[in-house]
Structure 1
């Protein structure tokens, strides 16, 4: 194996996994160690890699030809796409050990685990060293970092009490919200809620939108009502409405009352629409500009980083006011048209309205048919007074066409074993 003899596992988190041809097949999310009845340190039996579509699989350590902080390379053979499931005698190193409070023996120094090293011998990899940050009890001072042998650390086995979140948060920090939501589903409920509560409001709002409904409700309940209302304010109104729709009406009212009125009002409006209609799935905050805005202003608006690709793909043109419900809806300008027009031209001169807008009561099958017919990523929704009240985007449609539990890892069927140029083992 072409690799360093000692590798710190937290540094592997997020590292790309490649097959022998140089094609990326996933990213490292954790290491799996097998506990032993003897006093010997746990044996590392493989890595957990996340594949496309959020599937986590096991990669046997024996089939890995190169492993370091820059890349993991697999040997030839069969890639087992069966979803990884931890066995009773196994340990997920990052998930279960990071932030664990331990003691250094024999000194009795208290500290927190910040990383764990695995080391290669002639015939196996084992967990040999632990990086422990000394606990000082002072917020303004970081304790000394100790790198010590596994058998000198007390508290690495058994149930972890009073764990912090800082080091696991650092490992998860670079993950996309969808991948992070997937990682949270692997954690015990209490640990999941603890990690979720440690995110800032905006980050947690993005992650909540990617969790299954039952996990959303449980995380929200664990936050407490005041914090829950703050997080709901950071969510897109349609996502907040979907989440609140899973709660009993009295709880909906309490949380909406705790939200700022200008954040709560669009959510209240969305909750009034019948499920399965355009009104219930639309976003009430598409990109809206007046007809006297210039092409340059429109391009600047859709470049804003917080906009999703589907929302930023077009500008809706309407009379004032510019918030929904707007003045009279005039039409739409797709971003490709904006790129072709002189920057100083007015939107009123390039707007098109040759496709009939949706109504709030338009059913989801009709929306899907029309979007597919005209190859659209978004469609306007207008009321009886021709005011723009929102837009249905393709991600809204997909989210509601898929089974309700499509985000739930436990509800997804296992994939078959596939023969590829990458290698794996059925050991996991």
Structure 2
């Protein structure tokens, strides 16, 4: 859609690429910043929240947007890299307006906001929100069928300025359904605590479990505490045992034990084992769900296990060969077979004939410093952990090691900068806040 009288609905902007005039990508749109106004005046659209390549979220004023067309946003090329911070007078359209229940003027019918339309009136620089796409709830004076949708003028509804309890999240989630868990976690981290809880409540257990694993500890605990105990236990069951153990360890002992008792015994058992180990040891960092095969399994069996979509890449790099039982803690650990070795062998070959027995396993009390040296020395992405009887307890993957090597606030810092990415320009290169307010209308 080109500028000058055209309209774009905000859900179509979510995730859209932002380019400078020469065609280089600046980032992607994550939200729209608007300012609500008194009376029937439509809200002014102040700008876009853009996630730049370094995952920092910055503010792009609409005065610097020259085109919104063909699924992309074109800018003047001038982007202030100062981290975006929402002001009290500002509203995030995706994060705060969608799914809100408002009232039709003149009928008092309750409707739910599914989308809003933005437009730039001809001969004006300002963008405004002029349309609202709503779903009717039925039972009002208009007596329409429940669930019927329609687009109305902004002035035809009221109630946006009220703080709403129990606001839904279906429309917001629909705009982010294609995001990877890490990216959706970044979205949740930047929402208000109220909206974060509402979005979390709307996610299914598996999706929420994946997202929780990518959130900072404080956000994880906040979300878990706002879930009902039964659902919290279900979500913990859907998490990887090592991540569930890390999250539970942040809770008071009484809360942790209550949730463990609500979990299915077979799901709680590995989490309880992990909680017995010190945090910065191989036992405290390992996953209890590596790929385990018996020695009489074939190479074809091993490759089939590796190809399973839900197996994380570090765990799919090798299989661990053990005598039965083949669930941790297993029978005697025999060795491991890297997937590259498996690819070179005939499919009918037994994995017991191709195991690497030279790579010594680690005891669960191995400290972090020894573990990092071990992974680096052998150029591997996961290490086997065995008990004093030689049974496989689990495997430590490189991503879990990095979690413990990086600063505690690395997830928050990752949203502001990327390793090796250029930092924000010097203060002298940035517009002052006063000049930004006068030029950009903020």
TM-score by length of 2: 0.88
Q: Within 2, Cα distance between the matches of 1:289 and 1:35?
A: 61
Q: Within 2, Cα distance between the matches of 1:74 and 1:299?
A: 48
> Quick check: 1:203 aligned with 2:207?
yes
Superposed counterparts of 1:162-177, under 5 Å = 162-177=166-181
- 2:387 alignment partner, one of 379, 383, 389: 383
Superposed counterparts of 1:334-345, under 5 Å = 334-345=338-349
Shift of 1:266: 0.4
Shift of 1:83: 1.4
Q: Within 1, Cα distance between the matches of 2:309 and 2:43?
A: 45
Deviations, residues 309-365 of structure 1 (Å, cap 9, x unaligned): 111111111111111111111211222222222222221222212222211011001
Query: Which residue of structure 2 aligns with residue 13 of structure 1?
Result: 14
Unaligned runs of 5+ in 2: 427-434
Query: Which residue of structure 1 aligns with residue 136 of structure 2?
Result: 134
Q: Structure 1 residues 402, 226: CA separation in 2 closer, same or farther (over 3 Å shift)?
A: same
Q: Within 2, Cα distance between the matches of 1:158 and 1:9?
A: 21
TM-score by length of 1: 0.91
Query: Which residue of structure 1 aligns with residue 246 of structure 2?
Result: 242
Unaligned runs of 5+ in 1: 419-424
Give 3-state SS (helix, strand or coil) of 1:14's partner: coil
How many residues align structurally? Answer: 419
Query: Which residue of structure 2 aligns with residue 92 of structure 1?
Result: 92
Query: Which residue of structure 1 aligns with residue 127 of structure 2?
Result: 125
The answer to whether the Cα contact below 8 Å between 2:286 and 2:394 also exists between their aligned partners in 1 is yes
Give 3-state SS (helix, strand or coil) of 1:116's partner: strand
Q: Within 2, Cα distance between the matches of 1:69 and 1:158?
A: 35
Shift of 1:196: 0.6
Query: Which residue of structure 2 aligns with residue 105 of structure 1?
Result: 105
Name which of structure 1's ranges 155-164 and 105-114 shifts more when overlaid on structure 2: 155-164
Query: Which residue of structure 2 aligns with residue 213 of structure 1?
Result: 217
Give 3-state SS (helix, strand or coil) of 1:305's partner: coil
Q: Structure 1 residues 24, 357: CA separation in 2 closer, same or farther (over 3 Å shift)?
A: farther
Q: Within 2, Cα distance between the matches of 1:224 and 1:359?
A: 37
Deviations, residues 134-179 of structure 1 (Å, cap 9, x unaligned): 11269xx642212111122111223234422221221232221111
Superposed counterparts of 1:185-196, under 5 Å = 185-196=189-200
Query: Which residue of structure 2 aligns with residue 402 of structure 1?
Result: 406
> Quick check: 1:116 aligned with 2:116?
yes
Deviations, residues 39-81 of structure 1 (Å, cap 9, x unaligned): 53122122112234532122222333332462223343x4322
Shift of 1:20: 4.1
Query: Which residue of structure 2 aligns with residue 422 of structure 1?
Result: none
CA RMSD of aligned residues (A): 2.4
Query: Which residue of structure 1 aligns with residue 430 of structure 2?
Result: none
Q: Within 2, Cα distance between the matches of 1:70 and 1:410?
A: 27
Q: Structure 1 residues 19, 332: CA separation in 2 closer, same or farther (over 3 Å shift)?
A: farther
Q: Within 2, Cα distance between the matches of 1:53 and 1:316?
A: 37
Give 3-state SS (helix, strand or coil) of 2:411's partner: coil
The answer to whether the Cα contact below 8 Å between 1:185 and 1:409 also exists between their aligned partners in 2 is no
The answer to whether the Cα contact below 8 Å between 2:292 and 2:320 also exists between their aligned partners in 1 is yes
Q: Within 2, Cα distance between the matches of 1:307 and 1:18?
A: 35
The answer to whether the Cα contact below 8 Å between 1:7 and 1:68 also exists between their aligned partners in 2 is no
Query: Which residue of structure 1 aligns with residue 65 of structure 2?
Result: 64
Higher relative contact order (CA 8 A, sep 6+): 1
The answer to whether the Cα contact below 8 Å between 2:113 and 2:133 also exists between their aligned partners in 1 is yes
Q: Within 2, Cα distance between the matches of 1:389 and 1:137?
A: 59
The answer to whether the Cα contact below 8 Å between 1:182 and 1:409 also exists between their aligned partners in 2 is no
Deviations, residues 211-230 of structure 1 (Å, cap 9, x unaligned): 11122112111112111111
The answer to whether the Cα contact below 8 Å between 1:31 and 1:93 also exists between their aligned partners in 2 is yes
Query: Which residue of structure 2 aligns with residue 421 of structure 1?
Result: none
